[in-house]
Structure 1
Amino acid sequence: MTINASSPAEETTRAPEHLADLVGDAESFLSEVWGVRTATFSCGRAKALLSTADVWRELDCGSLVAPYFGVLREGTTPTVSGITETRIVQTKPRPGYAKPAAVRQLVASGHVFVLNQLEDWNGRVGALVDSLRAQCRAQAGAAAYFCAAGSGGVPAHADGAHTLTVQLEGRMRWSVGEGEHVSETVAEAGDILYVPAGQVRQGAPCGADALHLVISLQQPTARDLAELALATFLKGPAAAGIAGTHHFLSLEEKVAWLRTELRAHLAGHDRGALAEQAVLLRQREGRA
């Protein structure tokens, strides 16, 4: 079932900025759909995030550089092999610039053109990703996929992240799941397909060129939260206070102290705030 997240009378030129713009009732989505099942939503405004014209303009403007683009040849990892060149910029050689003619040739032969990390350099996508990162308490990123008519599309794969696939132009047929549990849906322009983490999905264009945006949302694991909580504990006043005297304690006394102080430390944590700290930490590590 497709849920309409926008009013028919609502303008379609202003890009969505929040989760509710994409899925309607955000609270219901997070409590009833998130991590539970695949779902489809409709938001006409989503088409304003990016267009095929925007994609070719970025390619032809001459400033597109790896790792912000690539092509899918085999598998699901984009490559820049054979489609980059070195240019002289401020008297120094700079590798990794896109060769538009080479990219277009591969796309025409059935390969998929990918724009990576759009949240870093596209204002509309960046604003939406920032909002989703905060609301879902998840590390977030976005990539756009241009699939020419007749191309093989996106091969079957599973992500460790939750995904919101926004159909921007054209139509894509998506298969989600494995074996007897495969479901199929055709995403029209303005549709959003939510797939929980770990679900296998595969997509191919239907009859014409298609452009879609994949927003990945990866929440901190239990280990991430535990490691962060322990790190803050070791930097806290309780650990500092015993640092010079712990060698006077027996092993049993040390264990008893650790149980008491660590329990008190964990009891004072706001789980939501801890998750947000873990997301920010992972985000900084990813950009380092």
Structure 2
Amino acid sequence: MADIDAALASGLLRRPYLELVSRGKALDQGDYTTARSVRGHDFGGYADSAKVLRQLDVGATLLMRNIEHWHSGAAALADRLGAELDRRVEAFLFVTPPGQQGLSPHRDDADVFVLQLNGSKRWQVHAVPDDGHWQARQEPNPGPVRLETTAHAGEVLYIPRGAPHSAVGHAAGLSFHLSLTVRQPGTADLRTVLARRLDDGLELPLLPVDQAELRRTAAELLHHYRERLAGLTPEELCAAVETVPEPRTGTASPEPARALTGLAETLRN
């Protein structure tokens, strides 16, 4: 909690790293952010700690996205879990006032490990989809409840990818929980990797000068794509999609400030 207080007080935390929501609806940006002027230019979306606290006081939930980008402990945990599962892992923090609900029932496009850090939350989890024809979105008709449980501080709840779920903060005290999302490859990833493979090594004129040059360019494009596709197997495409990024360097250090301290000592010597 002290780390979150410090991040909010710094004045540098900015959307989309944070958002406030209440019962499935996002609050207006102006309700919790402010603009800052740098060299005569105004930049909006910076967290206003006083506004954020006021919104929490009236029942809104603070959602902080990808805190592994700036919080060393979250980065170390996400990297370790990602290495064990051979998947990309992201960290999202939720701060919910007593008795309140931030997000309505919804599906996530990732497996989620919910780590309750402070307080407790009552969860409802519904059935996993039977096939892959579903979307990550709010689910007004989530179906029968398959699991109803309360997560207390220090406990972990696993929610399978696609299972609709929702949670309400316990009546006493703030609820802090960390959602560690485990990203699984999908069709969109296959398309992205395929497009990258097809365009690799391809150099064509951006604006062919006439119709004859346009046809020659089209022929070269098709020839290049056919050669690439002929040598590509489903196994190779899946392997490229499942490649896990290298752990972040520097971010996961328990005391990142030592990097500057060490540099200063080196320069003095």
Question: Which TM-score applies when normalising by structure 2?
Answer: 0.66
Q: Which residue of the partner structure matches residue 175 of structure 2?
A: 210
* Equivalent position of 1:159 in the other structure: 108
- Counterpart position of 2:52: 103
Match of 1:179 among 121, 143, 147: 143
Deviates more, 1:165-174 or 1:207-216: 207-216
Q: Identity percentage over the alignment?
A: 27
Cα distance in 2, alignment partners of residues 129 and 141 from structure 1: 6
Partner residue of 2:186 out of 213, 221, 226 = 221
Match of 1:266 in 2: 233
The amino acid of 2:105's aligned partner reads: A
> Deviation per CA, 1:148-177, whole angstroms, max 9, x where unpaired?
113234321111111111101011110000
1:36 matched residue in structure 2 = none
Task: Provide the aligned C-alpha RMSD in A.
Answer: 3.4
User: Where do residues 68-147 of structure 1 align in structure 2 (5 Å cutoff)?
Assistant: 68-75=17-24, 77=26, 79-147=28-96
Structure number with the higher helix fraction is 1
- How many residues matched? 215
Three-state SS of the structure 1 residue aligned to 2:233 is helix
SS for the counterpart of 1:214 is strand
Amino acid across the alignment from 2:38? V
**1:192 partner letter:** V
| Structure 1 pair 129–85 and aligned structure 2 pair: CA distance change class (3 A) | same
**SS across alignment from 2:42:** strand
Summarize the alignment of residues 61-72 of structure 1 with structure 2, pairs less than 5 Å apart: 61-72=10-21
Amino acid at match of 1:191: E
Give the Cα–Cα distance (whole angstroms) in 1 for the partners of residues 192 and 54 of structure 2. Answer: 47
Question: d(CA) in 2 for partners of 1:107 and 1:91?
Answer: 32
- Corresponding residue for 1:196? 160
Aligned equivalents of 1:222, 1:65: Cα separation in 2: 31
Using a 3 Å threshold, how does the CA distance of structure 1 residues 214 and 176 change in structure 2: closer, same or farther? Answer: same
- Name the residue aligned to 2:242: 275
Q: Which amino acid aligns with 1:53?
A: A
Q: How big is each residue's C-alpha offset from its partner over 1:187-209, in whole Å with a ceiling of 9 and x where there is no partner?
A: 11111111111111111111221
Partners of 1:227 and 1:56 in 2: CA distance: 38
In structure 2, the partner of 1:148 is 97
In structure 1, distance between residues paired with 2:143 and 2:152: 25
Instruction: Quote the Cα distance in structure 2 between the aligned partners of 1:233 and 1:89.
Output: 43
Q: CA deviation at 1:104?
A: 1.1
Residue of 224, 227, 232 corresponding to 2:197: 232
| Deviation of the 1:79 alpha carbon | 4.9
1: CA distance between counterparts of 2:76 and 2:25? 26
TM-score by length of 1: 0.62
CA distance in structure 1 between the partners assigned to 2:235 and 2:94 by the alignment: 44
Q: Which runs of 5+ in 2 are unaligned?
A: 127-141, 203-215, 247-269
